[in-house]
Chains A and B, each alone.
Chain A
Amino acid sequence: MRKNSAKGIAPNPLARARLIFNAIAAVVALAGLADATYLTVAHVAGDSSVCGPSQPCAVVLGSTYAQIAGIPTAAFGVIAYFSAFSAATLAAFGYPRARTFLIVIVAAMFAFTLWLLYLQAFILHAFCPFCLLSAAFTFCLAGLTLATPPDSSRDF
């Protein structure tokens, strides 16, 4: 993009679209990172008021599924969203391998989110707004990743 501009050639519209989609994906991942960080801290600090008046939320966050092998489930979200943010940022700056990494991490997040939604709907029969918000962010990331035009030129 910069190379084309420097030469006075109109920027490639696909490259521009890739930049925009990856930048939006980075912002969405950042929002998910904030959500997951808040939940992780609340879990570690043992804050039972995080759900406010929502009893279903307390059921979900107080369930055995709120941690995996002693690690808060939300902490995996922190790692995943930070990885997605990093990959999307690198992809926005034109690092070709970053897109592959972004696809892999978002696919894993998508599958994990489906499992968490299944648990809430069919095992716990309760939903937590923070988890639903995180699911929405992951679905957004998946949509953005799918919609991002592939980089066929590999010009860097």
Chain B
Amino acid sequence: MVGRNFPMKRYLPFIIIAVVGMLTIGSGAMLYHAKLRAALKGGATANSAKSEMPPQHVRGASKAPVTLEEFADFQCPACAKTMMEMIRPLEKNYGSRLRVIFWHFPLPNHKHGRDAALAAEAASLQGRFWEMHDLLYQNQLVWSQANDARPMFNDYARELHLDVERFRKDFGSAQVAAQVDRQREHGVARGVENTPTIFINKQPIAPPFSPERLHEAIDAAMPGHKSS
């Protein structure tokens, strides 16, 4: 049947396969560049007039030559991975040369994202922001699937030896809500659309994030670094 009477038929399936293969690679590359452009556009449209806001949650030396800022949602799995598996080891590596700033950017499509941000802010009022931050990310899979995550946040507050009554009151306060909203608006003003969004010395870093890419970006931002 194949190619005896009609030689073209022998090659036709291979032509079809080759065309589909090229179309797949081509459309994949186009989609990748479109997503990358969107991510860069989101990060690069920073409006300096609107984007000035003193950071609330900072770790590392205040005079560190490099500052890494992360806009994140506590219910975003990629944010948990980026912070706990990439940024934390980098902090250890760079020591006093790297400062890390966390900004709230709860996404509306995450059911408990805003509540988690409120919990972290409420803990912050008792000086335990980063401890709550870590607990929220470590237990993300648990509380993010609950119908009501607030009792779990109260448990975390108890685990951190916070004044739970005060934590509950702060959680529902306008002051804490305004703090979360201000940070989110700050992100919007800097062109943040998705989480995690990372800036290194105010420059947006295009995803995807990996320890190697962040390492390179931090090295490139170090004073005296010579680009090859």
Contacts and interface: CB of A to CB of B under 8 A. Distances in A.
Interface of A: 1-3, 6, 30, 33, 37-38, 40-49, 52-56, 58-59, 61-63, 78, 82, 85-86, 89-90, 92-95, 124-126, 155-156
B228 interface: no
A92 B195 contact: no
B63 interface: no
Interface in B1-53: 1-2, 4-6, 9, 12-13, 16-17, 20-21, 24, 27-28, 31-32, 35-36, 39
Nearest to A72: B208
Nearest to B30: A41
Tell which of B6, B79, B194 has the most Cβ of chain A within 10 Å.
Answer: B194
A87 B28 CA distance: 22
B76 interface: yes
B78 A126 contact: no
A3 B1 contact: yes
Nearest to A66: B77
Contacts of A86: 17
A82 B195 contact: no
B13 A95 contact: yes
B207 A92 contact: no
A90 B10 CA distance: 10
For the residues of A in contact with B, the DSSP-based class is helix
A38 B24 CA distance: 10
A30 B196 CA distance: 32
A89 B78 CA distance: 38
A95 B129 CA distance: 65
Nearest to B75: A55
Contacts of A2: 1, 5-6, 9
A42 B1 contact: no
B202 interface: no
Interface of B: 1-2, 4-6, 9, 12-13, 16-17, 20-21, 24, 27-28, 31-32, 35-36, 39, 75-81, 109-111, 141, 144-145, 193-196, 207-209
Given A2-B9, A33-B24, A49 B2 contact: no
Contacts of A6: 5
B156 to A, nearest CB: 19
A55 B28 contact: no
B5 A63 contact: no
Contacts of A46: 39, 78, 207-209
A48 B141 contact: no
A55 B39 CA distance: 21
B76 A47 contact: no
A102 to B, nearest CB: 13
A59 B143 CA distance: 12
B40 to A, nearest CB: 11
Contact of A47 (B24, B141, B207): B207
B77 A125 contact: no
Nearest to A93: B13
A56 B76 CA distance: 11
A59 B144 contact: yes
